Amino acid sequence: MIVNRGKKIMWFLLLCFVLFSIDVEMVFAGNSEDSRHLVLVAGSASHRVGEHEHRAGVLLMERCLAGVPGLEVSSHFDGWPSDNRAFDNADAIHLFMDGGQRHPVIQEDRLQLMQRLIDRGVSFGAMHYAVEVPKDQGGEQFMDWIGGYYETYYSVNPFWEPNFNNLPNHPILRGVKPFSVRDEWYFSIRFREDKVGVTPLLVDAPSDETRGGPYVYPHGPYDHIEEQNGKSEIVSWVVERKDGGRGFGFTGGHFHENWGNEDFRKFVLNALVWLAGLDVPAAGVQCAVTQAELEENLDE
């Protein structure tokens, strides 16, 4: 009897050990140090169909990033998450929304919220109109977080078609071939003094005609823009902050149809993977998009 009882205890302990080992393995598998959480925030509808398609653009980004190992993506719409706890586990945040005086990030106490996240090492990206904030309300923060911002009457926003032929050696450019698309590419960005820490990624020289306007708004032209005729301009860039976080600025994104350009699309997807702190695949993020898919989720 004693021997049988001893065997039962031994088998019970062995079973407990096995179950405990499986449980520990599952916990660690679900919380890998290599996994990252990217929060995408889309602005509200604001333009004609096919322009500033924040919701459709974010849904497309989320779908294309679904197969990236170690990357968890959550998307939020209508300008801001309904609950700020959506950012609690974020490793990176990327905004695609209208900016300026009505920029969602400068409303209420959100700049302070973002600053607390930045101080924790969270990376931050902004796309198209989202790179524009008032100089005295967000300008200083964006200078720190992503290296620069669109400043009204200093920066300009014409429609033009740059040729990105000289692509630098950076993980975000993996698998990206030279490309050209017409968009509302902002330039004359207000960068940090001497562009300290800013790494240009997409650069081209606007034509003299482009510099001479009209710009989308205000129409211009501006003397300080025309005085730079022939010079190149940075329309997308990154920074690596001292706190370990990363910053990404991208001024394109006005026309939703540009997601149909493989290299435009791959560039942004690669940037989001890099922003989240993961290694960009050697050939870049692979994601095919059909014309029918481009027409999904458009604003009414």
Task: Indicate the number of domains in the chain.
Answer: 1
SS3 of 144, please? helix
Q: Does 9 or 144 have the greater pLDDT score?
A: 144
Residue 16 domain flag: no
> What pLDDT is recorded for position 153?
97
**Which range, of 13-27, 53-67, 246-260, 262-276, averages the lowest pLDDT?**
13-27
- The residue with tokens 């021997």 is 3
The yes-or-no verdict on residue 22 having pLDDT over 80 is no
What tens digit of pLDDT does each residue of 102-118 get?
Answer: 999 999 999 999 999 99
What tens digit of pLDDT does each residue of 189-219 get?
Answer: 999 999 999 999 999 999 999 999 999 999 9
CA distances from 83 to 88, 157, 198 (A): 10, 33, 32
pLDDT band at 147 (very low <50, low <70, confident <90, very high): very high
Residue 23 domain flag: no
Residue 300 domain flag: no
Residue 209 domain flag: yes
> What pLDDT is recorded for position 19?
44
The yes-or-no verdict on residue 11 having pLDDT over 60 is no
Residue 157 domain flag: yes
Residue 162 domain flag: yes
Residues paired with 160 in a beta bridge: 183
The yes-or-no verdict on residue 30 having pLDDT over 70 is no
Mean pLDDT confidence for 5-16 = 53
> What pLDDT is recorded for position 263?
98
> What pLDDT is recorded for position 21?
43
Range(s) of the domain holding residue 239: 34-294
41: domain CATH number is 3.40.50.880
Rounded to 5°, the CA angle 78-80-82 comes to 95
Residue 286 domain flag: yes
> What pLDDT is recorded for position 5?
55
What tens digit of pLDDT does each residue of 41-50 get?
Answer: 999 999 999 9
Give alpha helix (H) positions in the chain.
2-30, 54-65, 110-119, 140-145, 208-211, 223-226, 262-275, 291-294
Residue 229 domain flag: yes
The yes-or-no verdict on residue 3 having pLDDT over 80 is no
